[in-house]
Structure 1
Amino acid sequence: MTMSPQNVVPIRRAIVVFATACVVISWGFWLVVGLTGGDVRQSPTIWYFAIGASGPSLAALVAVILVRRSGQPTSPVAAPWLWVPAALVLGALPAVVAALVLDAPGFGSAAPGVIDSSGGLILFLVTYLIAGPLAEEFG
């Protein structure tokens, strides 16, 4: 695929916006965690850490919004809704398989404490099975 000189500048601009937003979002939240000395296994620190891990996905959203607002022509991207559930299942699959296969001694006894420190079962599932595996994938 060859690119015309007109399209090179908007694409470079989008890449620079993405890269900058990615670093600022990720390291901004991680810096807060580091400077406060919080334990990343405790709430609310775990949320700062998770949002920082989602930096690439959030940066991709920022880049798409800014490129669309600039009025530059963009190529259409088709994203059928069928891929969203598939991405959620496939993103969580390695974590679920690892949890089922690797039942290390003592892991079961630590699970209630980890779930409680995450804010409960629902927040644990969101954090470790959805937000964790998918944090960087869409970026």
Structure 2
Amino acid sequence: MIETTFTPFQSLGGGVLIGIAAVLLMATVGRVMGATGILAGVLRPTDRADWLWRAVVLAGMISGPIAVKLVTGEMPAVQVPSSTAMLVIGGALVGVGVTYGSGCTSGHGVCGMARLSTRSIIATLTFMITTFITVYVMRHVLGA
């Protein structure tokens, strides 16, 4: 069984940094910080300026673990208790969900809810309810 470590201060710090980044992106570029939309714009750029800010945001996301290593001396521990096939299937399902849901958890949950978007509030409630049900079934019904 997977043990979930309670890390309130690290979680709070990460949330604050994500919030600051979202506000700065909206203030400087005028865009919502949805990770899948940013990635899609890097893969299918419309113009150089649009591609550049997206690439910078992605570079910042990727460099996070490197910054942790510089500060602490070691890379953050990551456990992936799933097979490669399950990760590929999960990634494909997320891609479908992002397409039909018109955005990802970061776009809806962080930025959309902050703008009081009804669509984002409903999407975030759907993400959260689905997550609770999945964790309950996995841990208490299937015993995984």
The TM-score with structure 2 as length reference comes to 0.35
The TM-score with structure 1 as length reference comes to 0.36
Larger Rg: 1
Q: Which has the higher contact order (CA 8 A, sep 6+)?
A: 1
